[in-house]
Structure 1
Amino acid sequence: MVGRQLNWDQYASAWARLHGGFDPRSAAPPVRAWLRLAYHGGYVLGRLRVTPTAVTVVGVLLCFGVPLVAIRPQDGPFLGALLVLLASVADSLDGAVAVASNRTTRLGYVYDSVADRLGEAAWLVAFWLLGAPGALVAAGGALSWLHEYVRARATSAGMREIGAVTVGERPTRVVVALVGLLLAGLTGLIEPDLAAGTITMASAVWALLAGFGLGQLLAAVRGALINAS
């Protein structure tokens, strides 16, 4: 349901309720600045009657474009990095539009989660096309998926908080994809064969952080559910 536009404090309180009680007003300065910027963007789009679903669809389409442009000679990885950046902005804005304009729905939350997983899969396909081993790419994707699956199941089982903010969260994946593509582009300009090695290293970093983050989350979930029982 469309409602009145929320101010920053109202938005922050609503955002916290939707994210396991994590209050953006108490976040680290860079995170707080990013979320406040998303709020202002969401506020403007809400006033323009842009729907959260429309922003989500745009974000997914941008992600699907990453593997299509990443394989272009010379500038492909740079274009892929640009699309990752734009998609991450859209990912922040769709939720911001929903919260700022009081249009949050449970179905929208599901759509957003599915869109995130599809987008990350597209980024990893770009890694594979640029030369990263398929097994390594698949491992990174599986570990990231498990991270989100475990949190969702733990919440269904009675965990009231997010469990833990791990090193393998969605923002980490965005950074690894963005930096990995940029570095692959730069090394590819020096020597084309170096791009594959660079993107392989980025894939390894993705998988390692996803694995470590999953371990952190499992430990937090165990503690939360034991205490809740």
Structure 2
Amino acid sequence: MTWDEYATAWAGLHGGFDPRRASLPVRGWLRLAYVLGRPLGRLGVPPTAVTVAGLLICACVPLAVLADRAAGPLTAALLVLLAGVADSVDGAVAVTSGRASRIGHLYDSVADRLGEACWLGAFWAAGAFGWLVVVAGGLSWLHEYVRARATVAGMRDIGAVTVGERPSRVSVALVGLLLTGAGGLITAELAAGTATLAVIVWVLFAGYGLCQLLAVVRRALV
């Protein structure tokens, strides 16, 4: 399967959003997933195996912080990056090997939500306020729930690509944990403050993204 064929198939599974017309970082990220996923598909690796591997990596993110409050967030950031790659590669494996399925899409979505909960748990372990972490997780979950229910109600595509999408969450988790780790090498208080600031950024992105999505959903369904 060529890149163009993959991009067309990927768009069909993601509400018609063509990755060839995406921004350079998004296009580059998806092309990386294609490059890594195609040989795995040829080797017969099941997409679900990659999904499970990514989820297991996510589960290690808060454990890394709990194991070492100082340098642990730096390790956690690396794990978030690996999990993000796995999250894209599983879809690439499914598409390039012709094993994309509705149940696989469901598994991937559930794994994404559980993985994000693990990332937010890492910020809590680093010192962020628990209630703030819950708000961040709730807004992200609501974002995906609204889109899913709107699609069932008759919205024909994904509605809108908002600032609160999955790539934004990956970026905030990755950069936030890197900065938290850097702060932890100085003082524990600085690490906790940085972790809290990262979750605030997550909340702002998720909240604004939800408002964007709701506006589009209202136009599509009213």
Q: Would you say 1:93 and 2:98 are equivalent positions?
A: no
CA distance in 1, matches of 2:41, 2:177: 32
Alignment-derived partner of residue 78 in structure 1: 74
After superposition, the C-alpha distances for 1:104-130 in whole angstroms (9 at most, x for unaligned) are: 000000000000000000111111111
Deviation at residue 219 of structure 1 after TM alignment:
0.2
Structure 1 runs of 4+ aligned residues shifted over 4 Å read: none
| Uncovered stretches (5+) of structure 1, i.e. residues with no partner | 1-5
Q: Report SS of the residue matched to 1:190.
A: coil
CA distance in 2, matches of 1:73, 1:116: 25
Q: Would you say 1:129 and 2:122 are equivalent positions?
A: no
Tell me the amino acid that sits aligned with residue 57 of structure 1: V
Tell me the amino acid that sits aligned with residue 58 of structure 2: C
Please point out which of 146, 149, 154 is paired with 1:150: 146
CA distance in 1, matches of 2:25, 2:204: 24
Tell me the amino acid that sits aligned with residue 167 of structure 2: P
Alignment-derived partner of residue 7 in structure 2: 12
Tell me the amino acid that sits aligned with residue 166 of structure 2: R
CA distance in 1, matches of 2:134, 2:3: 40
Name the TM-score, length of structure 1 as normaliser: 0.95
Identity of matched residues, %:
68
Deviation at residue 8 of structure 1 after TM alignment:
1.4
CA distance in 1, matches of 2:171, 2:154: 31
CA distance in 2, matches of 1:169, 1:216: 11
Tell me the amino acid that sits aligned with residue 62 of structure 1: I
Q: Would you say 1:31 and 2:26 are equivalent positions?
A: yes
CA distance in 2, matches of 1:207, 1:74: 24
CA distance in 1, matches of 2:208, 2:49: 34
Tell me the amino acid that sits aligned with residue 7 of structure 1: T
CA distance in 2, matches of 1:108, 1:19: 13
Q: Report SS of the residue matched to 2:157.
A: coil
Alignment-derived partner of residue 3 in structure 1: none
Name the TM-score, length of structure 2 as normaliser: 0.98
Alignment-derived partner of residue 102 in structure 1: 98
After superposition, the C-alpha distances for 1:185-207 in whole angstroms (9 at most, x for unaligned) are: 11111222110000000011111
Tell me the amino acid that sits aligned with residue 106 of structure 2: V
Equivalent runs, 1:205-220 vs 2, <5 Å: 205-220=201-216
| Uncovered stretches (5+) of structure 2, i.e. residues with no partner | none
Paired residues, number: 221
Deviation at residue 59 of structure 1 after TM alignment:
0.2
Tell me the amino acid that sits aligned with residue 222 of structure 1: R
